[in-house]
Structure 1
Amino acid sequence: MTRGQTLRPFYWRATALFPGQEIVSRTHAGRTHHDYAAFGDRVARLAGALRELGVEAGDRVGTFGWNTHRHMEAYYAPPLLGAQMHTINVVLPDDDVEFIVEDAADDVLLVDPGDPFETVERLFDRFDSVDHVVVMGEEAPESDLPVHAYEDLLSDADPVEDWPDVDADAPAGMCYTSGTTGTPKGVEYTQAMMHAHAMMVQTPSAIGIDQSDVVMHVVPMYHVNSWNFPYAATVAGAKQVYPGPSPDTETLADLVESEGVTLTAGVPTVFIDLLEYADDHDVDFSSLERIVVGGSAAPKGVMRRYATEYDVTIDHAWGMTETMSIASVSRPKAGMDLEGDEGLDVRAKQGLLSPGLEMRVVDDDGEDVPWDGESFGELWVRGPTVVDEYYRRPGANEESFEDGWLKTGDIATVDEEGYFEIVDRAKDVIKSGGEWISSIRLENALMEHPEVVQAAVIAVPHERWQERPVAAVVASGPVAEDDLRQHLAESFPRWWLPDDVRVRDSIPKTATGKFDKKALREELEDAPTPYAPEER
């Protein structure tokens, strides 16, 4: 009964039912166009090449690259062989890359040319497990490493014709958490989990990708399997667009226009920057229908502008590495009035839990909080796409899992309709004078100001109040702190207002594009603030 709960039916459906559907890829060498028939042959050849390199069921194939058609092929070939595909973040520091490759014990690395290859070449002597490095390009650079050119391997390989029967419980994928609060933790996904997640994303209650969509993969393929869009879009038979190495806003805007993109997804900063680009350039977003954002909340002002100026809907999603990315989407229930700001209020939340999952929101005593839209608690989730342990981390397992539930570390409220809203990470919520202040709500409100482009709020230690909020903002023009505080005062009590608002040229970001609050705290926690909270 579980034989079909693998990635094999996805591969079969795309290649058998939609062989002429297009796959567009921007590579180091330029833009390429393939179809699902060519994709099927290339995956079979990659699988044959990996076999010739010694990859067997249970082995791990690491990928270290950008969003291209070759990386997409690597999403399929190892799992179809019964091996495990392990994505590695290409912008991590060397020490993290070394730790992750060694911890996972990757047997083969598939790497992009340029910076990714140079990183692997620099670190190769530290890797005990890696036997082969395959450069995902037309040719491989001169090197002392056991290196192979991807296209040469494919042209010389005998394609796999009879795929092995793979158990649904066999590991198929692996990602590592960001490690912002310690050593990165490995998370393994089985064939059945990846199958279930893609099918869940397919439902209209989640993303609802279908064959008429043109899906542009902005979420990095090294980040939580690109939110599993390469699987969901493939099984849907949709046209796919891969924007390649380090795409800038001009590249993304051009791909939307030239390829007729209807759906894309990523962190909000990408689409804030894209909107700014559109302000200064002649862009055509007429094909674009939906943007899915996650990682943090998009400002309502940005959502409003996309809707009114371009007729593009922004849907919020929420998820974690431990939930295989998307675990909720803020889609309206039937009969809801979505006109004006009320509709934005619904879409700005992380939404309704995806089909197949369950959740609790619990207080410090482990009791469920009321669904009143006001009470805070930690979000717990469980279901077929939620892991129940970390790879080789017994201490972290005890802290993060309880009776089948994943304790997410996200602080949330739930309204009467069941829509939940992440108000902070447990490590980011500001505890001032015994009360909680949501950094996310302050950030979203700051970004509603017409001159504010980006905003991050952190807690700094305070002798009397334990912690107080301090804000860092990037502005599009001159803006005074008092104006920003007055703007916040329209929505929040005085004790919520930041003690200081620092206007900066930029805000540090993590390797996945989120605001790096750890780095920001290190910069600001000892900085003097101009006001004492008791004066406010």
Structure 2
Amino acid sequence: MPELLRARAADQPDRTAIMTPGGRSLTFGAWDRRSDAVARALLDRGVRRGEPVALSFDGGDWPEFAIACLGVQKAGGAVLPLPTGLPPAQADGLRATAGARLTLTGLDGLEPFGARPPDVRIDPEDLAQIVFTSGTTGTPKAVAASHANLAYGYRPHPRVRPYAHSRLFAHAFPIGTNAAQMMLMDTLTAHPAALALPFFDAARFCALVDEHRVGTVFLVPPMAAELLRSGAHRGHDLSSVLLVSSSAAALPPATALELTRVFPAATVVNCYISTESAPARTAMIVDPRRPGSLGAPADPRDLRILRSDGEAAAPGEVGEVWLRCPAPPRSYLGEERSDVFRDGWVRMGDLGRLDDDGHLHLTDRESDVIKCGGLKVSTVQVEAALHEHPAVVEAAVVGLPHPVMGAVVGAAVRTAEPVTAPRLKRFLADRLARHERPVRIAFVDDFPRTTTGKILKPRVRELLAEVRNHETTSDPSPA
């Protein structure tokens, strides 16, 4: 990674790499010089090769974070980005798991005047980064990535730089997430500068896209849902956007189709990736003719569906989704063996199927499938049906224990306007089979979330367990 920065700084020292809404900016030349100084200061403090160094920066400190990140790596260390606003006890737990003895919260005292570049030899297989998974279904796991993994596919002097249609690309990903670290990698080699927002606010986001004529925007599904719910797009000109990329989870079909209308000039892409699989991903263009599909991968050989016996599933047959990672793979820190990483393939934790044309359809997370009597219910399918209701902004579906059926369907929804559970049930009656319909519905102002904005399903299950009356409503008036 340091070589990518040095090459860019040599080619375009005065070109802006990162800017913030508050007016701060960082050029490639300054990024290179200042990270050299940080690296030298860290070496003076005894940072060893491969040693994790925690970075705890506010969301508005993207330029400083970028300098610290490359400074740690130039010193031979590994970056541990901590999520913004993490409670101290949780931050301590992540540092302890990663083995980080040093934590940087700023650059004060790390940039001595005239510091010489560090003389550290970095091997491509050296540990470069530790990122924790979102922990939507359990305890977050530490995922280790080497320089060879992070820099795979990037070139110091590419013939055409990524996102060449843009002057700026915009995102509001929290610093401690895998999505944010991928944005930092893109910044090193992409044509546009990164407009990095400290947090996502739909009105502010749309205003900045309009003001700066942003050409590429990066979102996650909760951000897309909030943008659409807020109506902020109606007051701004978003015609400059030619690419909308959503990652971290699959966009609900209704949300994906609405994005194509809100950004009429843009190609909308579902980027199917996980913290474990990066840089392997499938960038799937949203096709209005196939609203239930994520799309088809650029190379069909990099995606496969396996049955429970390990054999390839036939078209239309549901199985485990695996992605091939051509780069040196990631691993769980401290674990030599894992059923997630296998011979260059990464198990995504999703169940899905391929149609006859090779388009991927996700049916559920393996851990989320509801077994109702002798039938299986896809929470993804139920959530997609809920999203089709015009009042529903977000939905989370979970299985609830039942003494006879084993489990039944429960749903929590966030709405843009009042609606009752009976009305939602009548809406779903034409879209879902009887065993798929929620027997209990709760309405929430917001969901418990991970730092990446993903909904915490275990907390939703706890919420629904407290809802005894399935006629719960978001509208106090009679149905």
Fold match (TM-score > 0.5): yes
Give the aligned partner of residue 63 of structure 1: 55
Give the aligned partner of residue 214 of structure 2: 261
Which of 415, 429, 436 is the aligned partner of 1:496?
436
Q: Distance in 2 between matches of 1:163 and 1:286?
A: 47
Which of 235, 246, 254 is the aligned partner of 2:189?
235
Per-residue CA deviation, residues 285-337 of structure 1 (Å, 9 max, x unaligned), is 232222211223333443333323432332111211111266111137xxxxx
Q: 1:183 to 1:354 in 2, by over 3 A?
A: farther
Q: 1:505 to 1:161 in 2, by over 3 A?
A: closer
Q: Distance in 2 between matches of 1:506 and 1:436?
A: 28
Q: Distance in 2 between matches of 1:72 and 1:161?
A: 17
Asked whether 1:192 is paired with 2:153, we answer: no
For structure 2, the residue ranges without an aligned partner over 5 or more in a row are 472-479
**Greater mean alpha carbon deviation, residues 404-413 or residues 422-431:** 404-413
Q: Distance in 1 between matches of 2:116 and 2:424?
A: 61
Asked whether 1:75 is paired with 2:19, we answer: no
Which of 362, 377, 385 is the aligned partner of 2:319?
377
TM value normalised by structure 2: 0.87
- Displacement of 1:57: 2.2
Q: Give structure 1 regions of 4+ aligned residues with deviation exceeding 6 angstroms.
A: none
- Residue 324 of structure 1 contacts residue 386 of structure 1 at CA under 8 Å; is this kept in 2? no
- Residue 409 of structure 2 contacts residue 437 of structure 2 at CA under 8 Å; is this kept in 1? yes
What amino acid is aligned across from residue 310 of structure 2 in structure 1? G
Asked whether 1:507 is paired with 2:447, we answer: yes
- Displacement of 1:450: 0.9
What amino acid is aligned across from residue 100 of structure 2 in structure 1? D
TM value normalised by structure 1: 0.79
Q: 1:179 to 1:308 in 2, by over 3 A?
A: closer
What amino acid is aligned across from residue 101 of structure 1 in structure 2? R
Give the aligned partner of residue 476 of structure 1: 416
Give the aligned partner of residue 110 of structure 2: 153
Q: 1:393 to 1:179 in 2, by over 3 A?
A: farther
Per-residue CA deviation, residues 228-266 of structure 1 (Å, 9 max, x unaligned), is 12112321242111112x343333223222333211223
For structure 1, the residue ranges without an aligned partner over 5 or more in a row are 1-6, 112-135, 137-149, 333-337, 532-536
Give the aligned partner of residue 303 of structure 1: 256
Which of 9, 16, 33 is the aligned partner of 2:10?
16
SS in 2 for 1:424: strand
Q: 1:96 to 1:441 in 2, by over 3 A?
A: same
Q: 1:73 to 1:430 in 2, by over 3 A?
A: same
Give the aligned partner of residue 475 of structure 2: none
Q: 1:422 to 1:92 in 2, by over 3 A?
A: farther
What amino acid is aligned across from residue 361 of structure 1 in structure 2? I
- Displacement of 1:470: 1.0
Overall identity of the aligned pairs, in %: 24
Which of 177, 180, 190 is the aligned partner of 1:223?
177
SS in 2 for 1:102: helix
Give the aligned length: 466
Q: Distance in 1 between matches of 2:138 and 2:109?
A: 40
Q: What does 1:22-421 align with in structure 2 at a 5 Å threshold?
A: 22-26=16-20, 30-65=22-57, 66=59, 68-111=62-105, 136=106, 150-154=107-111, 156-161=112-117, 164-196=120-152, 198=154, 208-210=162-164, 212-224=166-178, 226=180, 228-244=182-198, 246-279=199-232, 282-311=235-264, 312-324=266-278, 327-331=281-285, 338=287, 341-342=288-289, 345=291, 349-353=293-297, 358-372=302-316, 375-385=317-327, 387=329, 389-393=331-335, 397-402=337-342, 405-421=345-361
- Residue 243 of structure 1 contacts residue 255 of structure 1 at CA under 8 Å; is this kept in 2? no
Q: Distance in 2 between matches of 1:424 and 1:208?
A: 32
- Residue 202 of structure 2 contacts residue 232 of structure 2 at CA under 8 Å; is this kept in 1? no
Q: Distance in 2 between matches of 1:69 and 1:357?
A: 38
SS in 2 for 1:31: coil
- Residue 249 of structure 1 contacts residue 273 of structure 1 at CA under 8 Å; is this kept in 2? yes
**Greater mean alpha carbon deviation, residues 472-481 or residues 322-331:** 322-331
Asked whether 1:434 is paired with 2:434, we answer: no
Instruction: Point out the structure with the larger helix share.
Output: 1
- Displacement of 1:420: 1.8
- Displacement of 1:60: 1.8
SS in 1 for 2:273: strand
- Residue 317 of structure 1 contacts residue 351 of structure 1 at CA under 8 Å; is this kept in 2? no
Q: 1:210 to 1:439 in 2, by over 3 A?
A: same
- Residue 233 of structure 2 contacts residue 262 of structure 2 at CA under 8 Å; is this kept in 1? no
- Residue 352 of structure 2 contacts residue 362 of structure 2 at CA under 8 Å; is this kept in 1? yes
- Residue 187 of structure 1 contacts residue 387 of structure 1 at CA under 8 Å; is this kept in 2? no
SS in 2 for 1:179: coil
Q: Distance in 1 between matches of 2:143 and 2:86?
A: 17
Q: Distance in 2 between matches of 1:426 and 1:104?
A: 27
Q: 1:297 to 1:184 in 2, by over 3 A?
A: closer
SS in 2 for 1:70: helix
- Residue 206 of structure 2 contacts residue 232 of structure 2 at CA under 8 Å; is this kept in 1? no
Per-residue CA deviation, residues 423-444 of structure 1 (Å, 9 max, x unaligned), is 2111111122232211112112
Q: What does 1:454-469 align with in structure 2 at a 5 Å threshold?
A: 454-469=394-409
Per-residue CA deviation, residues 92-118 of structure 1 (Å, 9 max, x unaligned), is 44433222101212132122xxxxxxx
Q: 1:110 to 1:305 in 2, by over 3 A?
A: same
Q: 1:412 to 1:25 in 2, by over 3 A?
A: same
Q: Distance in 2 between matches of 1:419 and 1:163?
A: 49
- Residue 17 of structure 2 contacts residue 188 of structure 2 at CA under 8 Å; is this kept in 1? no
**RMSD of aligned C-alpha atoms?**
2.9
